């Protein structure tokens, strides 16, 4: 593409959230895992302060200088790249320009966090470019700091006031494990996934056009709920106080509060179930989570409900739920290994009849977080 050998490969995974939806921006608990679908950048450093990235998926080339980084129209993939460059520059990291080709197999707009994958792959590319050029970035640009800067990039350059979960798991995912994250202080614990469990992703093919605006609305409702209980965030609200106050209370704010408080407890229970290898209990918690997201948080959809309903009707499926912001995108199912084919057949046969949409079904495994490696320049 650019007429010279590549010097680095940078990559970052998508994710599924096993349980703990819409709790991260309320300083709650989440249990995501990085998946074996990712965004990859292959590139080489430049001597000037220019970044050129060609997306094979969109057949578009993005070019900008590091001294002036404009936004594009909303929804453009380039904003994630630009946003990361801008926040790194503003945080006083000395960036090296680069040329790169970008390719991803995380489904876009499906609730598997392709945005965080682009952000962290871009951040890794800046680290790789600097090292390849003999101008390595400060070693502090790792782990929690990398996740926070990527989160800031998304908030500033796309307008979605996302929590920290997606960027955190894309950075610190552990192969073969889910990651329990306390979004209050970002303490985390890797929890092994049982050998006999499979996570099946059902891409509903339904648009998530409402997700961004509704996400910001839900966040505002949660802030209103915290204020109602004189708390900084919903993490500080006791369930007993909520129960005492909800009698006779109407309106969406109390529904949102109820979901978040119950969902936080479900995450803690799910971690213990995983540690025991109790897949039936974990599946039940996932099903309860979906019901809460549908009825209390009101972010499910007919397509997501249909996918979950079909999945839960298959023998060997322990439970299913929507994952991501909602209104479309993906559902996930926890299933026995020997039930995967039956689940796929049921979704492919029944889902189009119920929704008129064509689903995609795939199994994912727990992957490692973002990384990069340098290539031998002599080898081309």
pLDDT at 378 over 70: no
**pLDDT in the model for residue 214:** 83
> pLDDT tens across 86-118, in order?
999 999 999 999 999 999 999 877 778 899 999
* Model confidence band, residue 197 (pLDDT cutoffs 50, 70, 90): very high
**pLDDT in the model for residue 21:** 95
> pLDDT tens across 294-353, in order?
999 999 999 999 999 999 999 999 999 999 888 888 999 999 999 999 999 999 999 999
Please choose, from the candidates 368, 323, 329, the residue with its C-alpha nearest in 3D space to the C-alpha of residue 34: 368
Q: Which fold has domain 194-364?
A: Alpha-Beta Plaits (3.30.70)
Residue % of the chain over a pLDDT of 90: 83
As a whole number, mean pLDDT of residues 246-259 equals 88
Residue 257 is encoded by which pair of tokens?
């509060």
Q: Is the dihedral of CA 288, 293, 298, 302 positive or negative?
A: negative
As a whole number, mean pLDDT of residues 242-262 equals 90
Residue count of the chain: 380
Q: Is 140 exposed, middle or buried (0-12, 13-18, 19+ CB in 10 A)?
A: exposed
Known active-site residue 166? yes
Range of lowest pLDDT (71-85, 100-114, 279-293, 303-317): 71-85
Please choose, from the candidates 339, 332, 276, 344, the residue with its C-alpha nearest in 3D space to the C-alpha of residue 308: 332
Q: Which residues in the chain are classed under CATH 3.30.230.10?
A: 8-189+369-379
Please choose, from the candidates 183, 229, 221, the residue with its C-alpha nearest in 3D space to the C-alpha of residue 21: 183
Q: Could you say which of 166, 278, 305, 341 is catalytic?
A: 166
Q: Which fold has domain 8-189+369-379?
A: Ribosomal Protein S5; domain 2 (3.30.230)
Between helix 143-158 and helix 165-172 the angle, nearest 10°, is 140
Residue 238 is encoded by which pair of tokens?
């006791």
Q: Which residues in the chain are classed under CATH 3.30.70.890?
A: 194-364
- Answer with the residue of higher pLDDT: 45 or 142: 45
> pLDDT tens across 158-185, in order?
777 778 899 999 999 999 999 999 999 9
Please choose, from the candidates 283, 321, 350, 319, the residue with its C-alpha nearest in 3D space to the C-alpha of residue 111: 321
**pLDDT in the model for residue 108:** 79
As a whole number, mean pLDDT of residues 247-262 equals 90
**pLDDT in the model for residue 248:** 67
**pLDDT in the model for residue 208:** 67
Please choose, from the candidates 24, 329, 8, the residue with its C-alpha nearest in 3D space to the C-alpha of residue 148: 24
The mean of the pLDDT values for the chain is 93
Q: Say what the pTM is.
A: 0.91
């Amino acid at each position: 593409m650019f007429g010279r050998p590549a010097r680095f490969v940078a990559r970052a995974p998508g994710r599924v959230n096993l349980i703990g939806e819409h709790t991260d921006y309320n300083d709650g608990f989440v249990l995501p895992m990085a998946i074996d679908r990712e965004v990859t950048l292959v590139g080489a450093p430049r001597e000037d302060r220019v970044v050129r990235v060609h997306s094979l998926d969109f057949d578009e080339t993005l070019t900008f200088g590091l001294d002036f980084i404009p936004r594009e129209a909303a929804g453009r993939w380039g904003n994630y790249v630009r946003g990361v460059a801008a926040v790194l520059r503003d945080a006083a990291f000395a960036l090296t320009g680069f040329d790169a080709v970008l390719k991803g197999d995380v489904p876009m707009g499906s609730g598997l966090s392709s945005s965080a994958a682009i952000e962290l792959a871009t951040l890794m590319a800046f680290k790789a470019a600097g090292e390849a050029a003999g101008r390595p970035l400060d070693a502090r640009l790792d782990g929690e700091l990398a996740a926070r800067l990527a989160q800031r990039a998304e908030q500033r350059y796309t307008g979605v006031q996302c929590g920290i979960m997606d960027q955190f798991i894309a950075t610190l995912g552990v192969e073969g494990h889910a990651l329990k994250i306390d979004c209050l202080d970002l303490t985390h614990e890797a929890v092994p996934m049982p050998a006999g469990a499979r996570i099946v992703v059902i891409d509903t093919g339904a648009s998530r056009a409402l997700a961004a605006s509704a996400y910001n609305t839900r966040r505002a409702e949660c802030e209103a709920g915290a204020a109602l209980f004189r708390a900084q965030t919903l993490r500080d609200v006791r369930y007993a106080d909520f129960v005492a106050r909800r009698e006779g209370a109407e309106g969406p704010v109390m529904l949102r509060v109820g979901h978040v408080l119950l969902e936080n407890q479900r995450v803690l229970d799910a971690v213990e179930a995983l540690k025991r290898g109790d897949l039936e209990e974990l599946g039940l918690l996932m099903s309860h989570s979906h019901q809460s997201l549908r009825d209390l948080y009101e972010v499910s959809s007919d397509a997501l409900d249909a996918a979950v309903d079909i999945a839960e009707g298959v023998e060997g499926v322990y439970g299913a739920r929507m994952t991501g912001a909602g209104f479309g995108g993906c559902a996930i199912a926890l299933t026995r290994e020997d039930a995967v084919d039956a689940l796929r057949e049921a979704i492919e046969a029944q889902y189009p009849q119920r929704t008129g949409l064509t689903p995609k079904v795939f199994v994912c495994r727990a992957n490692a977080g973002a990384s990069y490696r340098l290539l031998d320049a002599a080898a081309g």
